[in-house]
Structure 1
């Protein structure tokens, strides 16, 4: 506990000393009047008998100098998000949600240790690191053990939010007049995402997929599942495929991916989904079809108009993910599990399984990138590169062939030196 000691002076006035022990040593701060000393005493005790954050001995609370044009971080970020171009309104809404829920955790710690609200100009690298740690840790519910007020964020989500944060701060660096000279997000050490990638994906062997497919009794649902796993198309792409997107005659039959289902902004008239462009520029692509896929497609489009969807639900409308999953896919998986299937794949795992089959057939990753519509080969490598170990024999054979001794005719009698 802190105490106040009054020290009378010769002129009849007094000074007041606030004394307390901190880490075994006496600490003293002096005041010219009793009420100020009493206020400081309560501050010391509220901080656990430590110097209050932001207090400088002999000077009091010292604030950092104001930066001209500085604004609260949330105000700057909201303005940045509102002015973004080239994004869908659903994406803009997601960014604003991240701002409300996650970026509201940002705080600035001053050089004196005081924690103050974040502004676009006062954020530091340490502040960003503290935010990442808060995202990782989450916030347990103090009143309910095992429950959360805010769940810990996974590494991929943190990386995505950090990318948005980087752009928001960079806008202040590029602003006129300039509000920052550097981007405090540049050297942030983010949690590793690769430790979670393989756990999230389920790869089905052909026989395992057939066990699930055998439980799908609806012919239209079975055809869609067969198409997803045999083409590697995303759900939103396959269910948006229209009759005129198919070229089933000629020597090279193809399916043209030109659109995909998008989730609409909340409250949008006309429903929760709409047709828009594919996920990325490279996602707009041609997919080569095998004879089996051509036959499957012909069954689906017989008697249909060019603008009709290739895959349709029982009532003739487009498939919705929730309906297909809950009424067709999940019951089939559960039935297969009862009969011994050791996996519970999601619908998107059909795309992962397609890639695994291609890699197992020694199809090169760049070709797989083009078929999947990945924007970058790095995405393909990061997600599926660990499956390429099956090519080791081919690689070793190629190395052996390259290093083998040339024939006498080709080498002119030269010998290989190893």
Structure 2
């Protein structure tokens, strides 16, 4: 189970295609949120679980703490009178692995898990990626029937003849039966993780279905594109600063692209909408860069890099390509970029209070006030509010600020000063001037 919260869809898919789930929990730690989620997925899909309590060789291991936490989640292990099998293991030293496998076989016997190997293969796509030398590679799990080299496979909107079947260690195989995960070469694209696949005897039929599915998918994506309605336009105008962040996303495997795409789209706020305008598997190509240039998008590569030509084109077009290998770094950086796109909030900070002790009327200048700084300071270029009996009478700025006969930039608490207010002369003894500055604060995403 990948530990990051973004991989929810991957965990859900895992629960849908398994017959038995082994939940691995470290004995020297607590049951983590993602592990709890994996357990919930297994329960929702009705998949029996076997709990493997790992790292029991550690000096601070406490398996009973794990059993206790599981019981709080309504998962009772057999040792505590429940019906969920559990086994203490150490992956590092290989302790009790045979006992764990025995429990898996026992569970399989109870469930009477059977599949027919003597028919055309069908199953599910687990992952897909693009290999430079070998083309599109799909990791699949055969659920029924037997898959042979040379079979014609349809998976989602992709199809092709199986050129090679490889096991988990990359060794070639001639065929794969039920419940065997294999990597196959020969499809014309990267199918989506979770797509069902099946073998067709008639190549033409498979191609027709694939074309039809592709057409439907294209229609669907056109229909779900959000066009700007009058209400939406009104909302954007009311907001004033509405922005869109377009992203083109490429990754090494389909599962990561899906997880990252979901997470980035969920960052959208009232003011900034995040749009994934294209996502795919494989290295960043020239056509991706051209699309980014046409749609003012930023390019994000997850565990992939840009090809030489694409890089040159990106430099020429001044398109930024960001590459990441850790999912939360990508999410955090996009979040930071969005916070930079938000217009800053202007906040007021009161820096001082000044009391008017005396007023002098001078022809051609207006009213000059003799004042005492009560708190903080008053500066020559700060803004002021004139308060009389706690009511704001005037807001503006200073014309001049003096100490004795000299012009000064600031006067601090406890000192006297003379000042006059730009464009306002109705000053009385006892008025208070509130001196404030306006500072811009970077907005945070909600």
* TM-score of the aligned structures, taking structure 2 as reference length: 0.22
Larger RCO (CA within 8 A; separation ≥ 6): 1
* TM-score of the aligned structures, taking structure 1 as reference length: 0.23
